[in-house]
Amino acid sequence: MGLTIDVHGLKVAYESVPVLDGTEFSVDRGDLVALLGANGAGKSTLLRCISRILQPTAGQILLDGQDLKSLKSREAARLMAVVPQETAADFDFTVEDIVMMGRFPYLTRFRKEDLHDREVVRRAMEMTGVTHLAERSIAQLSGGEKQRVVMARALAQQPELLLLDEPTANLDIGYQSMLLELASRLNREEGVTVIAAIHDINLAVHHFNRFILLAGGRVLASGRADEVITAENIRKSYGVPATTFRHPLHGVLQVSVIRGDKTRNAGKIGLRVHVIGGGEEAMPTLELLYQKGCRLSVGPVSAQDSGCRFAHFNSLPVVIVPPFTMMNRENRDEHLRLMREADAIVVPPIPFGEGNLPLFTEVEVALDEGKPLYIIDFAGLPERDYSGGKAVELFRRLLDKGASGVERVDDLIKVIKQGGGEDDD
Amino acid sequence: MTGRLTGKSIQSRGTKFTRPLLMVVLVLLLFFSALSAMIWGAVTIGWKNVFAILFDTLPFYQSETATGIAPVYKDILLQIRVPRVLLAAAVGSSLAVSGAVFQGLFRNPMADPYVIGISSGAALGAVFAMLGGFSLAVGGFGAVPLFAFFGGLATILLVYSMARVGRAVPVMTLLLAGIAVSAFLSALVSLLTYFAGEKLHQVIFWLMGGLGGATWLQVRVMLPYAFVGYLAVSIFSRELNAMLLGEETASNLGVDTEKVKKILLAGASLLVAAAVSTSGIIGFIGLVVPHFVRLVAGPDHRFLIPASALLGGSLLIATDMVARVIIAPTELPVGIITALIGAPTFMYLLKKRRKLRYFGGGG
């Protein structure tokens, strides 16, 4: 089971606008391929060329080395099955009728469905979990059920190649992963080659092991997730800045589009605020200030810190300290510069220890120069002090020099507005 | 019953016996409507005599009852009523089957046998022949049916070539081209009718459709067309099922959609052209009969097509009989009766079942 596919110099144009422009790739026996790319990149067009709905104007598609054009309709339908994004269901066939239609390519004009066909249909319905719907009318089913019926029909074709064209586009997250899990199970257990056009990259990386990224009708990248899904490739193909990261829970590569920072501040506070340090504990402070429209800067943090990711993600200025090193002269100067440019400095409720206390040398300089400094949750500091009391001592001194204590993150904005107002002009 | 009707996969609704049972009912209906159409008319022929005369025509069989019946009854039955019943059966089946095919092909419940303009083309041909007063006759045929037949087929070819894009014929374009051509030809028919003068009655009567003056010759000419057309579309009923899911899906399932479209279109057009040229434009049967069958037995064309043929035949035989007897000895155009009986029945079913099966999405 399983097919190889070779696509050579494929060209398709709609009204002389090229959609596929010399597409070239190959897929191995038993590959589980996600076809990625922006709207209009040519994903559906490519799939429809493979499923022979469209005739390419140039180029060639080989299935197991055999030219697609030389196959008869029924032969092709025995080799591959298609699950489209949506199926019309404005008629009153039962689910079993629909699945049985998957046996069409195996039936000749005068051969009727026999026991074997029924058995195949029964198994297909079982695998997709639609057995209980067998006698129901397709017109009465929900989108998710309908899509599973269509999947069952595809299975009844006993294909060696399964093409899915954005099969999850209209499904909720439960049905999405169920459908893709089904596809990957077929791939694993029966060796069926699977190619699926998919919009949701983060969903795709969970279920597929090979990725083909289309842009402008050509293959931009092809290979494993980390080879294909890079910030650079995403920017080139989807036209948006993005960042990739490993998911904190399951470690799988993920993509997130970077939020633009340009129009956000219109009509909002627009105060410039520097937030000291990072880590999970600093996130609520960062997110709140960001939401309120403050122009933030962050640091110093290490490159893997969530504060650093937040800064990159939102294109904020950030002081980055290389991992496992102390701050160097350059970092210190950069930090001091950001604090001087800010209207206010905020110390979020993060833990303190020998590692991060030294950076307060510069903070103290800024405070002495008259920058407003806000310390969140001073009362809870002893629980977060891993420096044997040095942090508490330091912060007391800062408060004496004019820093303000703020009880909760939520109060911060109000206080900064008042304090910042006094300091300006 | 044939084996395919008992297959479990197509037992989609009702009990396991719905379809075989319906088939039996439809065959009986055809039998009894044919029998009554032979009994009643301007003169009544008792059912025993009908059987006697019919059996008497069999070779090597001499009916004793038949010898006692006046020859005029034999002539009425054998030369007038039997050919008329056969012709009604053939025309009714052809209209119902082509209606089912067009509705499936266009995935449109509004489609009827005349949807892509065959009727207007045939009408133009027929009216043209009537007004021209052509005396041309081929193989015993008058000019009117010949012109109607070729007018209908020429229209289909025109519509088809208008809708063709390269190798493909998108059904939506076909439908629209049909509507456009049909509207144009209908205007021409109206124009000709306006100037029909003394032939106006003849024209109007033809346009309303009827089976008056049916002859054995018409039966002999009509039956082969009906048979060939029926065979063509019924052989492709499984493909037509797949086409209901959309052309792309059908193609993915291994249906050669362009080929199937051509064959179905050709078969159905042949049925309609033959029907229209023998009996004029009889409305409603082609639209309503397939819906009746779907309401009861679902959209599977392997059942829908033979069942529509039986029901369409019975219905036209019965309504034609009513048209003959209701103001006897004069006849009403049968199209009036089909609409008068068919429409209310259809509305009742529609109301009762709440929605049209097969096109159930909206309801």
Q: Tens digit of pLDDT for each residue in A69-104?
A: 999 999 999 999 999 887 777 778 899 999 999 999
Q: Is B363 part of a structural domain of the chain?
A: no
Check if the beta carbon of residue B361 is closer than 8 Å to that of residue A89.
yes
Residues 6+ apart with CB under 8 A from A306: A278, A279, A280, A282, A283
Mean pLDDT value across chain B = 85
Q: CA angle at residue A361 from A357 to A364, to 5 degrees?
A: 115
Three-state DSSP at B13 gives coil
Which residues in chain A have Cβ-Cβ distances shorter than 8 Å to B12?
92-94, 96-97, 135, 137
Q: Is B99 part of a structural domain of the chain?
A: yes
Q: Is B26 part of a structural domain of the chain?
A: no
The domain of B106 spans 2-10+32-352
Q: Is B79 part of a structural domain of the chain?
A: yes
pLDDT for res A358: 85
pLDDT for res B139: 60
CB distance from B238 to chain A under 8 Å? Answer: yes
Half-sphere exposure of B358 (CA within 13 A, CB side): 26
- Select from A145, A188, A186, A147 the least CA-distant residue to A166: A147
pLDDT for res A304: 78
Query: Is the pLDDT at B8 greater than 80, yes or no?
Result: no
Q: CA angle at residue B83 from B80 to B84, to 5 degrees?
A: 75
pLDDT for res B95: 95
B contact residues 88-127, partner A, Cβ 8 Å cutoff? 107
**CA atoms of B271 and A98, how far apart (whole Å):** 29
Give the pLDDT band of residue B133 (cuts 50, 70, 90): confident
Check if the beta carbon of residue A209 is closer than 8 Å to that of residue A198.
no
CB distance from A81 to chain B under 8 Å? Answer: yes
Q: Is B239 part of a structural domain of the chain?
A: yes
Q: Is B277 part of a structural domain of the chain?
A: yes
Query: Is the pLDDT at B5 greater than 50, yes or no?
Result: no
Give the pLDDT band of residue B189 (cuts 50, 70, 90): very high
- Which CATH number characterizes residue B162's domain? 1.10.3470.10
Which residues in chain A have Cβ-Cβ distances shorter than 8 Å to B361?
89-91, 139
- Kindly state the percentage of chain B with pLDDT values over 70: 90
Residues B9-32: what's their mean pLDDT?
Answer: 76
**CA atoms of B52 and B235, how far apart (whole Å):** 38
Q: Percentage helix, strand, coil, to 5, in chain A?
A: 40, 25, 35
Work out how many domains chain B is built from and give that number. 1
pLDDT for res A208: 94
Residues 6+ apart with CB under 8 A from B70: none
How many contacts, defined by CB atoms under 8 Å, are there between A and B? 105
CB distance from B360 to chain A under 8 Å? Answer: yes
Of A72, A73, A90, the CB nearest to B360: A90
Residues B33-62: what's their mean pLDDT?
Answer: 87
Element (H, E) at A255: strand A253-257
How many other CB atoms are found less than 10 A from the CB of residue B202? 15
pLDDT higher at B25 or A407: B25
Written as one string, the DSSP assignment of A179-206 is HHHHHHHHHHHH--EEEEE-S-HHHHHH
- Select from B362, B357, B9, B306 the least CA-distant residue to A98: B9
- In B, minimum Cα distance to A55 occurs at B167
Contact at CB, A92 and B252, closer than 8 angstroms: no
How many other CB atoms are found less than 10 A from the CB of residue A393? 11
Q: Is B24 part of a structural domain of the chain?
A: no
How far is Cα of residue B5 from the mean position of the Cα atoms in its chain?
Answer: 23
Q: Which of A19-23, B10-14, B251-255 has the highest mean pLDDT?
A: B251-255
- Select from B150, B363, B186 the least CA-distant residue to B270: B150
Confirm whether the ipTM is greater than 0.85. Answer: no
pLDDT for res A114: 87
**CA atoms of A114 and B249, how far apart (whole Å):** 23
B contact residues 271-300, partner A, Cβ 8 Å cutoff? 294, 298-300
pLDDT for res B137: 62
Contact at CB, A93 and B256, closer than 8 angstroms: no
pLDDT higher at B346 or B327: B327
pLDDT for res A347: 92
Of A93, A109, A157, the CB nearest to B235: A109
Q: Which of A78-82, B115-119, B311-315 has the lowest mean pLDDT?
A: B115-119
Q: Is B21 part of a structural domain of the chain?
A: no
pLDDT higher at B345 or B358: B345
Rg of chain A in Å (alpha carbons): 29
Query: Is the pLDDT at B362 greater than 50, yes or no?
Result: no
pLDDT < 70 regions, chain A? 1, 260-269, 417-425
